Structure 1
Amino acid sequence: MAIGNIKAGKLLYHLTRLSNLDSILEHGLVSRKLVKDNDIRFSDVADQEIITKRTELGLDEYIPFHFHPYSSFDVAVKATYVDEEFIYVCISRENAKLNNFKILPRHPLNNEETYQLYEYEEGFETIDWDTMHTLGTEDRYTKSVKMAECLTDLIIPPNVFQSIYVKNEETQKIVEKKLKAKGITINPPYVNIGRWL
C-alpha cells in the first residue's frame, strides 16, 4: 500500500509477534486487559511505560489497530526486536464500522490534552488525513496523527480476520498450516506477504 492511499485503504493493522499466533487462534484477538485477567499466554511488543500509561487511561480494555503499517510504533518495535518475526493481523474497515469500533484521531500518549474516543464515522472524518499522508521528517504532532487508532473492546475471532500479513513464503506456509489445524480453511483470512515486515 502506498502512503498516499491510507485514507482510501480497506484494512486496519494490528502488529504482533508471530509467536503469539497460536494464542490468538485459540482465544481470538483480545484486549491487553483480557489477556491479563484471564492469564492468557501472550508476549507484548509495547514497552512497559506505554502499557502502564494505556492502563491508566483505560485503553487496555481495547484492541488497537492502525490505519497503515508504517507508524513510528511499528517501526520502533521491529527495530527493537530485530531477531523476532512479526505479523499483522488485519480486519476490514467496513467490519470495524459495522461493529461500532471507536477512533482516536491522534495517538493518546503523545498528546498533552486528554484524549477523546469518537464513534467510527465521526472519528474517521476527524483524522487529519493531510498530515497522515505526509512523508519525511516527523514532528510530535505528525507522529501522533500517523498513530491514530481504531479500537474495539470486542473479542475478534480468527474467522473475522480479513488477512494476516507475513514476511515471506516460509512464514506464509506456517501460518496457513496453523489456520488449517484450527479448521479455518475458507478465505478470508488471506495469508499475504507484506513487504514492510
Structure 2
Amino acid sequence: MPKVDIKNLYYITHIENIPSILERGILSHQEVERLNIDFTPIYDHEIVSKRKDKSTGENDSLWNYANLYFQPRNPMMYRVVHEKDTRNIAIIAVKSNVLSEIGVRVTNGNAANNATEFYPSSEGRKVLEKNWKIIQNDWWNDSDGSKRIIMSECLVPRKIKSDFIDSIFVCDHHTQSKVKQLISNSNIPVIPEPTLFFKPISSQRIGTNISLIDGDMFFSKMHTLTISVNLQGIMGKGLASRTKYQFPDVYVFYQDACRKNEITAVQPCIYKRETSLDQELADLTSPLNTPNSVKWFLLFATKRTWRENSRLEDIEGGLDWLRKNARQQGIKSLALPALGCGLGNLTWSDVGPLMCSYLHDIGIHVAIYLPREAQILPEYLEESYLLRNLS
C-alpha cells in the first residue's frame, strides 16, 4: 500500500474571490450566506443545490463545510474550465496540516455522490492510502469508480483560515500578473501551472497547419486522437496501456481490428466513437456542449510485434495513408504522439521531419505531441529543420 505524501490540498475558485479569501479564509457556503459576502461563483445551481441537500451522515449538510480536493486536476475542474474562462479560475493550495483541524472529515470520493462515505480525519487517511494511486492518476472513468474516487475531499467545518494558504496556481503568465495585482499586499506565491487546468505546457506552430505540443494528448481538443499500437492486439505500455483502461471500448475495437487484419503496418484503422469524451470526463449530469467532444481514435501501428522496435519505413507508410485519406475518412482535426519515439526507440530527429513533411498542408489542423522521454535539442524543433524535405 503506497505511503500517502500529502503536500497540499486544493480549493478551486474565481480569481475575483481571492482578496476576500486572503482576508477571511476559505468559507463554507453557510458562512458566506451568514456574513452576506459578495462573491463570484464558478459553479452552477445544479452543483450548489446538490451539495446543500447532501448530509455527511452527522445530521449536517455539506453546506456547512469548506471543501478541499486532494487532486485538483479532476472531473470538477474539467467541467469548470470548459464552462468558464480558464483565465478567471485559480487553484488555491492549502497546507496539509489543515487535516489536523477539529471536526475535519475525509471522503472516499466526490462528497455529493451517494456512493461516497465520510470519515474522521485519522480514519480517512487510511482510506486515502488505499485509493492514493487512483487519486494521483492522470485519468479516470465511470466504470471502475475512479471518476468518483479521484475527487476525494477534505471537509473543514465553517472555514479554513487564510494562514493555511500556501500558494495560488493559475493557467498562464497573464493571469499570474492579474492575480498579483489583486493581492499586491500579500507575499503568497502565484504560480502558472497550465497542466492543472488541462492546458499544454507549450505550443509551437509549424508551417500552415501543424502545432508541436508539450502536454497530455488525451486532453487535446482535436477531433481524432492517435494511439500507437502493434499488430498483435496487445496494449501493454505507454499510450496504448492508458487507452486500454481509460477507454475499454477502444481496446475491444482494436483487438477485433487485429483479428480481421483491418490494421496493417502501413494502414491505420479508425474507431469512429459516438459518445462524448467531455461528457465522460466532466462531473455533470446534463450535457456539456463543447466542440469536438465526440472523439475518434486512429489506431496507428508503430510496431509489428510488441517486443520489437518501430520501423521508420512503417511509420512513413502509415503517414502516407493518412495524407491521402484523412479528410476522405471524415477526420476534422488530428492529434498524434511522436510516432515510434519512446518505446519504439526511434528518435525525434528522424521522426519529426517525416511526420511534418507528410502532415503539412493536408487541409486539417494537426497537433503533434512531443516525446517526453528525452529533451529535444532546439534545432530539431525549428521549422527549417522539420519541413526541410519540402524545400
Q: TM-score, normalised by structure 1?
A: 0.81
Query: How much is the aligned-residue C-alpha RMSD, in angstroms?
Result: 2.4
Asked whether the 8 Å contact 2:92–2:169 carries over to 1, the reply is yes
Rg larger in 1 or in 2? 2
Q: SS of 2:184's equivalent? A: helix
Which residue number in structure 2 is paired with residue 124 of structure 1?
125
- 2:189 corresponds in structure 1 to 190
Tell me the distance in 2 between the aligned counterparts of 1:136 and 1:163.
Answer: 25
Deviation at 1:132, TM superposition (A): 2.7
Give the 3-state SS of the residue equivalent to 1:103 in structure 2: strand
Contact 1:91/1:161 (8 A) holds in 2: yes
Indicate the residue corresponding to 2:111 in structure 1: 108
Give 1:53 shift.
Answer: 1.8
> Aligned equivalents of 1:154 and 1:97: distance in 2?
14
**2:13–2:91 Cα contact (<8 Å) kept:** yes
Q: What residue identity is the alignment partner of 1:79? A: H
The question of whether the paired residues in 2 share the 8 Å contact of 1:111 and 1:144 is answered with no
Q: Between the two proteins, what is the percent identity of the paired residues?
A: 24
| Deviation digits for residues 9-63 of structure 1 (CA, Å, limit 9, x no counterpart) | 4010111111222332333211111112221111222221221121112001111
> Does structure 1 conserve the Cα–Cα contact (< 8 Å) formed by 2:64 and 2:158?
no
Runs of 4+ in 1 over 6 A off after TM superposition: none
Structure 2 spans left out of the alignment, 5+ residues: 55-60, 198-391
Give the structure with the higher percent helix: 1
Aligned ranges for residues 79-90 of structure 1 at < 5 Å?
79-82=82-85, 85-90=88-93
In the alignment, which residue of structure 1 is the partner of 2:141?
138
- 1:83 Cα deviation from its structure 2 partner: 6.1
Spell out the pairing of 1:174-185 with structure 2 (5 A cutoff). Answer: 174-181=178-185, 184-185=186-187
* Aligned residue type for 1:52: S
Per the alignment, residue 162 of structure 1 pairs with 166
Structure 2 CA distance for partners of 1:40 and 1:170, relative to 1, 3 Å: same
Give matches, 1:17-96, under 5 Å: 17-57=14-54, 58-82=61-85, 85-93=88-96, 95-96=97-98
Deviation at 1:134, TM superposition (A): 4.6
Residue type of the alignment partner of 1:142:
S
Aligned residues: 185
How far apart are the structure 1 equivalents of 2:87 and 2:175?
A: 12
- 1-side partners of 2:3 and 2:189: how far apart? 20
SS in 2 for 1:108: coil
Matching residue within 97, 101, 116 for 1:99 = 101
Between stretches 11-20 and 97-106, larger displacement belongs to 97-106
The change in CA–CA distance for 1:42 and 1:169 in structure 2 (over 3 A counts) is same
1:158-187 deviation per Cα after TM superposition (whole angstroms, max 9, x unaligned): 343011112223332333343333xx33xx
Instruction: Note closer, same or farther for the CA distance 1:136–1:106 as it changes in structure 2 (3 Å cut).
Output: closer
- Could you tell me which amino acid in structure 1 is paired with residue 169 of structure 2? Y
Q: Residues 133-168 of structure 1: CA distance to partner in whole angstroms, max 9, x if unpaired?
A: 455450152111011101101433434301111222
**Worse-matched range after superposition: 72-81 or 47-56:** 47-56
Shift of 1:69: 1.7
Change (3 A) 1:121 1:175: same
SS at match of 2:183: helix
1:35 aligned partner, one-letter code: V
List runs of 5+ in structure 1 lacking aligned partners: none
Describe the SS at the equivalent of 2:13: strand
Whole-angstrom CA distance in 1 between matches of 2:140 and 2:101: 35
Secondary structure at 1:76's aligned position in 2?
helix
**Matched-pair contact (CA < 8 Å) for 2:30–2:158:** no
Change (3 A) 1:159 1:84: same
